[in-house]
Chains A and B, each alone.
Chain A
Amino acid sequence: MWAQVLNALLGIWLMASPAIIGSEKIATDNAHIAGPIIASFAVISWWEATRSVRLYNLPVGAWLLLAPWVLQYQHTAPLVNDMVVGALVIGLSLVKGKITDQYGGGWSAIWKSKEQ
């Protein structure tokens, strides 16, 4: 859970960062779009039953690593920020954390038939 708390904070940081470190239009928009998505997926995965939603942040984190090159950022600050945040988000998304309760087979139990 702590890893997903950090990811939520990273998402919020991304939303605020253009106003703090300075940025260009395209990098600002990118941070304003990726930030809320990362924070939302992270917050949803705070709970055990929806912990796997943390994995949805993997492609978003990967996009942050690619974005400065694909969108051709001209400034160094947003480039470094996106690369660092992207790498951290990917790493923290992989941390599953403790699952202490039991959920009757979880989400896959909905799709699997148990013929009697």
Chain B
Amino acid sequence: MSETQGFPPGWSYNPASWGQRVPIVLLAILGFGIATYMALFQLNVFGTVWEPFFGNDSRKILTSSVSRVLPIPDAALGAIGYLADALTGAIGGTRRWRTMPWIVIMFGLAVGPLGFISVLLVILQPVMFDAWCTLCLCSAAISVIMIGPAMDEFLASMQYMRRVKDARVSLWKAFWGYKEVQGKVI
């Protein structure tokens, strides 16, 4: 009965079920909120930034040279990343690991680099500026926590693409979920 429930072959559960995906989407929305708040501070919409532990450190970090390396403030880039995570996590039904691998693979690829950049920024805070920023740390923790639970669905889609290749079905059509290849390979 595992196929009727959308389990990938050889799996004991469906990684694309809502129970698996909703917590990740909620985390991404929380991260989006935090990053947006920090970006608005960086854009001078807010005059102060919430910092319960490290005094003036958050201001130091959020107005640092690193935060202005790109044309947009780094927190705005983070907000865009979280939004991409939330959208690619939410779009598609519970069989999307095989009906639309492109979105699952984009989801996996969106979650990974966001986590990596967040950790890099956490390292730069104390090493370059001798300061800590509470909300930046929260944001980094969220983005790292999201990686593990997102990867099982990514794995299911990658295994599906492997089976598509072995069955000599068009990888391109399977990747984009063309109707004509649906059901040829499970």
Contact = CB atoms under 8 A, between A and B. Distances in A.
Interface of A: 15, 28-29, 32-33, 36-37, 39-40, 43-50, 53, 100-107, 109-116
A32 to B, nearest CB: 4
A75 B10 CA distance: 54
A18 to B, nearest CB: 8
Nearest to A42: B144
B149 interface: yes
Given A32-B126, A44-B144, A115 B155 contact: no
A41 to B, nearest CB: 9
A63 to B, nearest CB: 14
Max chain A Cβ within 10 angstroms of own Cβ: one of B9, B148, B165: B148
Given A45-B148, A47-B149, A103-B10, A40 B115 contact: yes
A104 B123 contact: no
B155 A36 contact: no
Q: Which 6 A-B pairs have the closest CB atoms?
A: A104-B10, A47-B148, A49-B152, A102-B12, A32-B126, A101-B12
Interface in B138-157: 140-141, 144-145, 147-149, 151-152, 155-156
B175 to A, nearest CB: 14
30 contacts: A29-B126, A29-B127, A32-B126, A33-B123, A33-B127, A36-B123, A36-B140, A40-B119, A43-B144, A43-B147, A44-B144, A44-B148, A46-B148, A47-B149, A47-B151, A49-B148, A49-B152, A50-B147, A50-B151, A53-B148, A101-B12, A104-B9, A104-B156, A104-B159, A105-B159, A110-B159, A113-B162, A113-B165, A114-B163, A114-B166
